[in-house]
Structure 1
């Protein structure tokens, strides 16, 4: 889970109001903001590694309290290390919302960086091969190969050669 701790509200409109993915005039937080305004403030161009792409949720901390949780739907990149997300604000009744909203910031760090990763089972999904293993990302180690060979067995009589020939007839690049 991506944890973003917002600082004091400040004007950023001269630099960011015309950004195509993230147009905004203010960043940061103050207690008068609506959930939608907190969401927009949290969507900054953060310096993040590619690890962020596997995060399902963003936890927004205001002051020392979790104010908002967002299901991340999309990432955009700017330059080598800046990323911004787009998503949906979780509502009461959602398991992750109900477990975290109003709770103290779970990240204890002496770092001044407002962004941290918080390991939580909510970010785990199920392996795409159908084995039921809980994973970060799409596959348990090696299970992508299991899935590929299931397709080959079911559709190409188990022959990798037939599969490769079919790929060529479809105009797919093989290297």
Structure 2
């Protein structure tokens, strides 16, 4: 889970106003902002590595209180910066109910506005079928590769070359001659 702490609202300029993924002219927060404006301010562009793309939720902290909980659905990268899109959660959602309206859940003195928070609500079960709990993303470490190679063993006799040949002939980039 990401915790995003917004500072005071500032003008970021007209250059971002027509951006196809995150159009905006302001970043930060002030108390007059709507939930949609807070959502747009929190989405990015943050200096984050690819680890962020494993997080399923973002909490937006402004004025020492969690203002929004967001289910993250999509990420975009431009250089070393990332932005996300998602759905603003509402009362009745467990993440919303646990955090929105509460004080900062992070016990950190870091000045960086984005922190990673472990939370049981963000946990799931590994998709490979092993039953192992995961606290971010969909796979326990290395289990995505395990799942791929189990399928290669099952469907291609264990031959990675046969799989590559099949994929090249049938996958999304196969030529349609």
User: Cα distance, 1:127 vs. partner?
Assistant: 0.8
**Match runs of 1:34-73 below 5 Å:** 34-73=34-73
Match for residue 7 of structure 1? 7
Match for residue 106 of structure 2? 107
- From the superposition, tell whether residues 31 and 138 of structure 1 become closer, same or farther in structure 2 (CA, over 3 Å): same
TM-score (norm 2): 0.84
- Superposed CA deviations along residues 51-96 of structure 1, whole A, max 9, x for unmatched, are 11111111000111101010111111111x2111111001111111
In structure 2, stretches of 5+ residues that fail to align are: 172-177
SS in 2 for 1:41: helix
User: Cα distance, 1:152 vs. partner?
Assistant: 4.2
TM-score (norm 1): 0.85
User: Cα distance, 1:154 vs. partner?
Assistant: 4.5
Correspondence 1:96 to 2:102: no
Match for residue 23 of structure 1? 23
CA RMSD of aligned residues (A): 2.2
Moved more, 26-35 or 147-156: 147-156
User: Cα distance, 1:13 vs. partner?
Assistant: 3.1
2:56 touches 2:137 (CA, 8 Å); kept in 1? Answer: no
SS in 1 for 2:76: strand
- From the superposition, tell whether residues 23 and 154 of structure 1 become closer, same or farther in structure 2 (CA, over 3 Å): same
**Match runs of 1:111-122 below 5 Å:** 111-122=110-121
In structure 1, stretches of 5+ residues that fail to align are: none
Pairing partner for 2:158 from 138, 157, 160: 160
Q: State how far apart, in whole Å, the 2-side matches of 1:104 and 1:154 are.
A: 50
Equivalent pairs counted in the alignment come to: 169
Moved more, 39-48 or 12-21: 12-21
